Chains A and B, each alone.
Chain A
Amino acid sequence: MYFPALLYPCILGMLSLVHGIPIHPDNLKNLVKLQADTIILRIKDYNDKLKLYPKLLIGDPELYPEIPADKTIQGLGSIVDTLTTFQKVLQRLPKGHVSQIRSDLSTLLDYLKERMTSMHCTSKEPANGRSLDAFLEDNATHHITVGYLALDRLKQFMQKLIVNLDQLKSC
């Protein structure tokens, strides 16, 4: 008589466990690599559409520190921190084809955040939030070059992430 009453909580509990099962690290590495490769190719397609003069160098690495350039990767926290900054930049760009990259980046961030949660890593707020907002506001009228710069730096970070996939094992 009490069997159904006991069964439902058990099933619900199992379902919640299934939902909360973290992704295996190796699977996560594969997944991150796939996502990163996808983002790199999309960025290449996007920036190629501008057909910029080959000698142009828009934005020195020293310039515009609000957009991460050549960031070191030190565990999941730093990866999520940097990617969150890039996501904020992409969200401020006019909607268009960059929305696909934004979606891919969002998915990647979700995986990494999920991993951080399962590893009990503490997350922190991005350090340069205010200056980034101000930077994006100042350059809202130059969204083409801002987008180009941000995507180029995101591509570099993705390339660095691919060769530092072992960093996904630490917070």
Chain B
Amino acid sequence: MSSLSRRTLFIVLALLVNFITISQGLAALSLSDGRGGVYEDLKWKALLCCELPFAQTLDGGLSEHPPVGQCRLLNATKPEFSRNCLDILCWLEGERTNLICNAKSHRAAAAASLLTVRPQLVVQMNVLSDETNHAAQCAGEETAMCSISLHGNDTTVSLTISISLNETTALSPKMQVTTHHLRRPDPPVNLHYNVTTEGEVIFRWSDTQPDSYAINYEIRYSFNSSLQQWEIVKVKGRSWVPLNDLSSGIRYMVQVRCQSHFNYWSEWSQPFHFTLDVSYIPAEVFTTPGSEVTVSAVFHNRSWSASKAVWMLNGQVKIPESQYRVINEQVSAVTVTVDEPGFDTLMCCHQWGERFKCIIAYAKIYTEGMFNADITCQSKNSEVDIMSCEWNKSAWAQVTLLYRQYTSMCETISEMEGSEEAEENMSLLKECPSGAGDHRECTLRNLSLFSCYKIWLEVEGGRGKVRSFPVYVAPIDYVKPSSPTVMEATTLPNKTLSVSWRRPHLPVYDMQYELRFVALRGMANTQWKVIGPLLESLAEIQLEESCVQFKVEVRCRRLNGSGYWSDWSMSYTSVVYNRKAPEMGPDFWRIIQEDPVRSVTNVTLIIKQPVLAGDPYSCVEGLVFEHQASGRAVWSNETTLVQFHLFQWRKEAHTVTVMSRNALGISTRNRNITLLHQPKRRVVRSFSVVANASCVYLSWSLLSDHPVPQSFVIEWLDLNKDPEQDMSLTERLQWVRVQSTSRDRSLCRRFYGSEEFTLYPVFVDGEGEPVRYTATRGDPAAYILLLIIAFLSVVLFVTLLMSQNPMRKLTWKDVPNPNKCSWAKGMDFRQIDTMENLFPHSEGLTACPLLLVSESICEVEIIEKPHPVMLEHEKDNEVLIYNSGDKTTTDSALLADSSEPLSLEAATAAPTPETSGQSSVMYSTVLLSDQPSLLRKQQESLSSSSDEGNFSNHVCSDSANPRHSSSYNSVEEFSETSDQDYEASESTGAAKDLYYLEVNEEEEEEEDEEEIEETQGEREKNETVMRVDARPLLKGKDSTAIDSNNISHSIPLYLPQFRTECINPP
């Protein structure tokens, strides 16, 4: 009974102990989350005490079964030193690599101190990973240590321990260790920030594991590299924090750490850098075509105001301000509608004077749907398995080109498009190997020529992508073949260009061709002529002329279907077919130019192109220049058909022969030229040039006692060419060769009236002395006007003659009242009979529109005086004649006499003072003579008579209108206009003096002037003139006889008009 009660009590106590143990264990678990232990200092700790049945056995006697003890877990923080207690410790080795658990009995510690020999306590530990089922078992005396691999994962490990002593055993309850609690928490990740539409910066982060036990966070941030000064913010229970007082333009570094339930602080997170300048909300937008999109921009720079925001679309177009909205001082919003699918950007800038300051951030708008990328493809050269595709895209978009190969025909693919889109197999897609970036082309390789390829673009954003319309391309349809090869091209004598070529081998389909050709001659005017399409690989082209080399090129493309033209083939120069060598060499002339800098003389040969219409069987393909200098060897240059040939002349006798050549030989009849430095012989006696509006007529005569030249060359500068553009004299010089028997030549082409013509007599052994002429021509319209005026003058003059007396009355009525003239003050005109009374002194003369009457015709005397013919003098005359056609007597004279609109003046190339005498109005011909005195007489007589006739004619005809007079005005204004230049011209001066001499021949005052102005020689001429003057001017051509007495009487009345200041203003 006692034993029974004792057993019952023991069982109750055991149950009680177990209950207490279990309840304590549960309590411990609930606190420490470690069944049977506590987590402390990154370790799991437990105290296991066991009651071994050793004592019972002694008390209760021998038992039939081995005794089993009881173990319980105690509060590890309050160690109870018992011989059968174990300290259990678990910790992590490495970063979640191994879990190590160690169980150590208190007996071991006591034994170490007491050094007594006692039976050993055997500890056996079993460790089992719940997730991986990895197990480890270890045993030892008084202590045991187990290690279990975790494979880098957090897990829960079950732990059981049994102890044995003296063949008695005690088994621990199952203990669990969560490895997650044995380490520090991981630092937060995914640090980022948002900006609200109000401009507030919200900083956010994430825990490593969703079921994290993190409860507290710390955020620290610093700017620039000064990491010594941290700003720390504490946050409890949430993973975000607003960060205020951040400055713009500063690069911040932010770190976060968290604290777990067990008060473990994590390490600081990876630093997150950010700079606040302009934030877009949202930074990426996916929309549909036609929908409104609103994007806000936050200016973190406090000096930027939202009211000065400027929104740009794709950096190119300023969005109208009506679409802006100011949210607050720092936030601006814009609303846009994108109509087309594709990719666009929005930038919010700040107005800064005239410019818009922007930062590098921009918002991206992806408009869903398919955009038109205008993809075009063609094969690369002859490599038909390589295709190059190009497309258009926004410069802001980063695109990817994708393609997929189909085995069907392209026509059928589009029909399958709807179903294919849904089941687009990504494994069949290929991306452009050269990538995207800002490329606008991609080269696809290893293509099948006859497959169909679907090609499209994609623009990928953070939350999706937009794509372009696909194109379906069969490379066979977009092949750009290689160029054909021209095999042969021949210019045949029958004015045919025969060309044959060879097509490229691939692709194998039928080809069509185009041929283009251009003549090699006259390259400045290169115009290709294109012939095609041609179906055969040969062609014969009819030409306008033979003997011409052509540059020929050919290209090809597919005959049926689409495709591209190949590039033009390499140029092939046609061969000119010849049967024999050319017969004649070309005609040529030379230009001799001194180079003062290098002290050399350059000679340029100007080659006249050979006449191609000659023998088509002996075409000229090039030239041979054969030089022979005196005492030196002969050398030659072979060229193509050039227009110019330049060489240096050493001022020695130098003969150049120019020969034509072709493949069969050189010409036998050639022209040569001999350059000589010695004085040239003079053979030309006279050279005159007459021109009208379209033609120039040249004529010359030779001295009789000289040999006849081989030919003549007439040379002049082409004023039609711009000296600025055609700098070379060789480009502007024109020349023509005339046969030796000719003595005149007409040149009908565009002349400007101021060309200088030079006549070169050419002998076998060199050139003769050239003769130059400068042609001048007035404006034809002016001549016509003068002709009309002259005609009207004649009519008026005749009318005046017929009604002399009535006209006089009429004239005096029209004349202004002389009483109002200053010079007439105090005069009684009714008492004035003579000129002396009317004009007491010459200074009082004024301009009055008085009319000549018939009996008071002016008197003009012409003095012909030999004087040096100077080039400047001639030029002045040219100017005068050319520019003042209505003033010039000479012009009118020409019109009246010969209807020739051009007046020409002549000078020899080497004029001498003795060889020519010239009137100031001389225009026609200058004769060169070896007998100057004789020539002078001839000139005098010719000029004087000629001019006299002219003057007499026009003095009368133009007398009606002094302002348009061609008679006395010609004397006055002619002299006046060229006054400066004529200061040295004694002839004009003589005429002027003579004129006044005639007027005042009875007055002594005027004689004083004459003494000043005249030389003795001129006086002699005046004397001669006096003789001429005795003859009335009109007498020369007008049959109307005028009594000299009448003249002398009437002159006092009208003569002052010749000296009026209005006609010849000072």
Chain A residues within CB distance 8 Å of chain B: 49-53, 55-60, 62-64, 93-99, 131, 134-135, 137-139, 141-146, 149
Contact = CB atoms under 8 A, between A and B. Distances in A.
B832 interface: no
Contacts of B844: none
B539 interface: no
Contacts of B273: 134, 137-138
B316 A53 contact: yes
Given A142-B361, A149-B360, A94 B318 contact: no
B360 A146 contact: yes
Contacts of B436: 94, 96
Contact of A144 (B249, B317, B352, B395): B395
Contact of A143 (B275, B277, B355, B398): B398
Given A51-B316, A53-B312, A97 B356 contact: no
Contacts of B435: 94-96
Given A95-B439, A98-B437, A143-B398, 20 more contacts: A49-B438, A50-B316, A50-B396, A52-B315, A53-B356, A55-B355, A55-B356, A58-B358, A60-B357, A62-B249, A64-B360, A95-B435, A96-B436, A99-B437, A131-B225, A139-B360, A141-B364, A142-B362, A145-B359, A149-B360
B732 interface: no
A142 to B, nearest CB: 5
Given A94-B398, A131-B251, A134-B251, A56 B358 contact: yes
A4 B251 CA distance: 66
Name B's interface SS: loop
Contacts of B352: 57
Given A94-B437, A95-B437, A56 B251 contact: no
A101 B914 CA distance: 79
B356 A57 contact: yes
Contact of A56 (B275, B312, B438, B439): B312
Contact of B396 (A64, A99, A144, A149): A144
Contacts of B396: 50, 144
Nearest to B273: A134
Give the residue among A51, A93, A135, A141 with the most B Cβ atoms within 10 A: A141
Contacts of A57: 352, 355-358
A96 B251 contact: no
A142 B398 CA distance: 11
A142 B355 contact: no
A86 B687 CA distance: 79
A53 B275 contact: no
Contacts of A93: 437
A53 B347 CA distance: 11
Contacts of A55: 354-356
Give the residue among B317, B349, B438, B462 with the most A Cβ atoms within 10 A: B438
Nearest to A149: B360
24 contacts: A49-B438, A50-B396, A53-B312, A56-B315, A56-B347, A56-B349, A56-B355, A56-B356, A57-B356, A57-B357, A58-B358, A58-B359, A62-B249, A63-B359, A94-B436, A94-B437, A95-B439, A99-B437, A134-B251, A138-B275, A143-B398, A144-B395, A144-B396, A145-B361
Q: Lowest 5 A-B CB distances belong to which pairs?
A: A96-B437, A96-B438, A145-B360, A94-B437, A134-B273
B438 A98 contact: yes
A95 B438 CA distance: 7
B251 A135 contact: yes
B509 interface: no
Contacts of B359: 58-59, 63, 145
B360 A59 contact: yes
A50 B249 CA distance: 25
A143 B899 CA distance: 84
Contacts of B230: none
A164 B362 CA distance: 36
Nearest to B313: A53
Contacts of B318: 53
Contact of A51 (B251, B395, B437): B395
B458 to A, nearest CB: 14
A56 B274 CA distance: 24
B435 to A, nearest CB: 5
Contacts of A51: 315-316, 395
Interface in B273-321: 273-275, 277, 283, 312, 315-318
Give the residue among A57, A59, A98 with the most B Cβ atoms within 10 A: A57
A138 B275 CA distance: 8
Contact of A94 (B249, B316, B361, B438): B438
A90 to B, nearest CB: 12
Contacts of A99: 437
Contacts of B316: 50-53
Contacts of A52: 315-316
Given A52-B315, A56-B355, A139 B361 contact: yes
Given A94-B437, A96-B437, A142 B360 contact: yes
Interface in B354-407: 354-362, 364, 395-396, 398
Contact of A53 (B249, B315, B395): B315
A54 B402 CA distance: 35
A63 B362 contact: no
A91 to B, nearest CB: 13
B315 A49 contact: no
Nearest to B224: A131
A15 to B, nearest CB: 37
A59 B436 CA distance: 26
Contact of A96 (B312, B354, B439): B439
A152 to B, nearest CB: 11
A94 B436 CA distance: 8
Interface string B311-335: 0100111100000000000000000
A50 B315 contact: yes
B274 to A, nearest CB: 7
A36 to B, nearest CB: 23
B297 to A, nearest CB: 14
B951 to A, nearest CB: 73
B133 to A, nearest CB: 43
B349 to A, nearest CB: 7
